[in-house]
Structure 1
C-alpha cells in the first residue's frame, strides 16, 4: 500500500493510551434497517461514550502527548464534537483547554464544552472563522493548536475504529464513512487498505458542503465559499492538503448526498435502530438510500459517528412519532 502519514504500529500502540471507555464500541447487525435499504447493514456505534462521538479517540492521544511534554495548554476550533472531546481528555490530564466555535454552533454541544471545564470563545461566521481565531490564539499565547485531521494523532486515534472492524467476527464488504476534515476517513481507511484491502471504503459528504469530495475527485484541493448543511460536523470549506493526500490513497469513492436523504437517514436510525443521531452520523444510511442498486446484496458497515444534536432542531428535522406514521 502507498504510504500515508499514518503508521500502523503507532495505531496499535494508541490503544494503550486511549481510555478504554472510548474503545470497543458496539458493532452489530441491524436487521430492522435492511428491508428499506436492500442490503445487510451493521452499525459501528461511536456514540456510546462520555462525549457521544468518536473524537475522543484522537484527543486522548493529543492530551497524553501534551501532558507528557509538560505543555499545559491547548486550543482548538470545533463545530462541537472535537471541543467536547479535547475538554474531556484535557480535564483528565490537568490541561487548560480553550475551544473556539461559531456562535451559530449547536447549543447542546457548546453547553457540554463549558460543562467539561474548557474555556469557550465564540466567533461570528462559520467553522473556518473559528479555525482562524484558534490559530491566532495559539500564535499570540504560544500554546498548542490542535487541528483536527491535520494533527496525525486525531487520525490515528480514529484509526483504532478500523482495527476493531477488521478484528471483529463480522464479515462485510463496504464501510460507509462520514467525510468532513478527513480524520475518520483517513484513519479507518488506512487500516482497512492495509489489513482488509478487499473492503470498499466509501466516504459520504453533504451536497451542501462538498469541498473534500470535490477535492478527492479532482485530486487537488478545492475550496468552497460556503457550506450549507444541517450536518455541521462535516461542514468544512477548506480541505487540508496533507489530509487530502492521505484520503486519495485510502478511499475508493467519495459521494455527495442531499439534505432530504440525511433527514430520512436520521428518521430510519430512530425508528428502526432506536438511535438519536446528529446529521453527520446518518450520512452512511443516506448514501444507501440514494443508490440502493449500488449496495444491493452487499453487507455494509456504517459508522454512527456522533449523537450530539440540539433537541429542538432534531424534532424539527425528524418530527414526532405521530408525524412519521401519519
Structure 2
C-alpha cells in the first residue's frame, strides 16, 4: 500500500493513551438482520461509551498530548459528537475546552457538550462557518485548534477501531464506513489495507451531502454550496485535500445513499438489533439496502459510529413506517 499520513506503529501506541472505556467495543454477528439484508452482517458498536460515538478515540490522543506538553486550552468546531468527546477528554485532564457549533445542531448534542463543562459558542449557518469561527478563536487566543480529520490524531485514534477489526484475522470480507470529514474512513481504511488488504473498504455518504464522495470519484476536491440530509454528523461541504489524498489510497469504493434508505436502516437497527442510532450510524445498512445484489452471500461489517439523537426527531424518522421487510 502507498503511504498515507497515518502510521501503524503510532496507531498501536495510541491505544495505550486512550481510556480503556473506549476500546475493545463489541463486535458481533447480528443474525437477526441477515434475512432482511441477504448477507452476513456483523456490527462494530461504537456507541457503548460515555460520549456515545467513536470520536473520543481521537480526542483522547489529542488531550493526552496536550496534558503532557501543550497548551492547556483547546477549541474545535463540531456538529456535536467531536465536541462532546473533546469536552470529556479535556475535563479528565483539566483542559479548557471551547466548542463552536451551528445553532441548528442537534439539541441533545449541544446540551451534552455544556454538561461536560465545555464552553459552547453557537454560530449561524452550518458546519463550515463553525470551522471558520473556531480557527479565528484559536488564532486570537493562541490556543490549540483541533480540526477533525485534518489533525492526524483524530484519524489515528479512529484507526484503533481497525486494529480491533482485523486482530485476529477477520472473517468478514467487506467493511462499510460512514464518510463525513474522513477521519473514520481513512483511519480504519489505513489499518485494514495494511493488515488485511483482501477486505474491501466501502465508504458511505448521504446523497444530500456528497462532497467527499464526489471528490474521491473525481480524484480532486469537490465542494458543494449546501447540504440536505438528516445525517448531520457527516454533512460537510468542503473536503480537506490531505484527507482526500489518504482516502484515495485506502477506499475501494465510495457510494451515496438516499434519505429513505438511511431511515429504513435506522428502523432495521432498532427492530432487529435493538439499537437506537443516529442517521450517520445507519449508512452502512442503507448501502446494503440499496444494492442487495452486490452484497449477497458476503460477510459485511458495518461500524455503528454514534447514537446521539434528538428524541423527537428520532421518533419522526423511525416511526414513519414499519420495519423494512424483504
Give the TM-score range, shorter chain: over 0.9
For the 8 Å contact 2:58–2:158, the answer to whether it is kept is yes
Matched, 1:324 2:322: yes
- CA distance, structure 2, for counterparts of residue 319 and residue 279 of structure 1: 14
* Alignment match, 2:181: 181
Query: Deviation at 1:53?
Result: 0.2
Q: If the length of structure 1 is used for normalisation, what is the TM-score? A: 0.98
Structure 2 unaligned spans of 5+: none
- Provide, for residues 163-188 of structure 1, a one-character-per-residue CA deviation record: whole Å limited to 9, x for no partner: 00001465000000000000000000
Q: Does 1:231 align with 2:238?
A: no
Per-residue deviation, 1:124: 0.4
Quote how far apart the aligned CAs of 1:207 are. 0.0
Structure 2 partner of 1:20:
20
SS in 2 for 1:324: coil
CA offset at residue 222 of structure 1?
A: 0.2
Which consecutive residues of structure 1, in runs of 5 or more, have no partner in the other structure?
none
State how far apart, in whole Å, the 1-side matches of 2:253 and 2:323 are.
35
> Which residue number in structure 1 is paired with residue 159 of structure 2?
159
Structure 1 residue 324 displacement after superposition: 2.1
Q: Which residue of 2 aligns with 1:48?
A: 48
Counterparts of 1:68 and 1:212, CA distance in 2: 34
For 2:198 and 2:263, the matched residues in 1 are separated by: 31
Change (3 A) 1:170 1:195: closer
Please list, as runs of the form range in 1=range in 2, the aligned pairs for 1:94-113 lying within 5 A after superposition.
94-113=94-113
Structure 1 position 136, deviation (Å): 0.6
What residue number does 2:83 align with? Answer: 83
Q: Which residue of 2 aligns with 1:117?
A: 117
Q: Deviations over 1:78-99 (max 9, x none)?
A: 0000000000000000000000
Q: Quote the Cα distance in structure 1 between the aligned partners of 2:244 and 2:69.
A: 29
Take 2:166 and 2:279, find their aligned partners in 1: how far apart are those partners? 26
Cα RMSD between the aligned structures? 1.1
Could you tell me how far 1:68 is from its partner in structure 2? 1.0
Task: Give, in whole Å, the separation in 2 of the partners of 1:122 and 1:54.
Answer: 23
2:287 matches 1:291: no
Report the equivalent of 1:4. 4
TM score, norm. by length of structure 2: 0.98
Measured against aligned partners, the alpha-carbon deviations of 1:28-50 in whole angstroms (never above 9, x if no partner) come to: 00000001100000000000100
What is the distance in 2 between the residues matched to 1:80 and 1:74?
A: 16
Aligned to 2:128: 128
Contact 2:268/2:323 (8 A) holds in 1: no
- 2: CA distance between counterparts of 1:134 and 1:57? 21
For 1:325 and 1:71, how far apart are their aligned partners in 2? 49
- Provide the C-alpha distance between the structure 1 equivalents of 2:75 and 2:184, rounded to a whole number of angstroms: 20
Number of equivalenced pairs: 324
CA distance in 1, matches of 2:238, 2:322: 37
Q: Which residue of 1 aligns with 2:138?
A: 138
Show the counterpart of 1:303: 303
| 1:34-80 deviation line (CA, Å, top 9, x unaligned) | 01100000000000100000000000000011111141000000000
Deviation for aligned residue 1:9: 0.4
Residue number in structure 2 paired with 1:65: 65
What is the CA–CA distance in structure 1 between the aligned matches of 2:64 and 2:131, rounded to whole Å?
A: 23
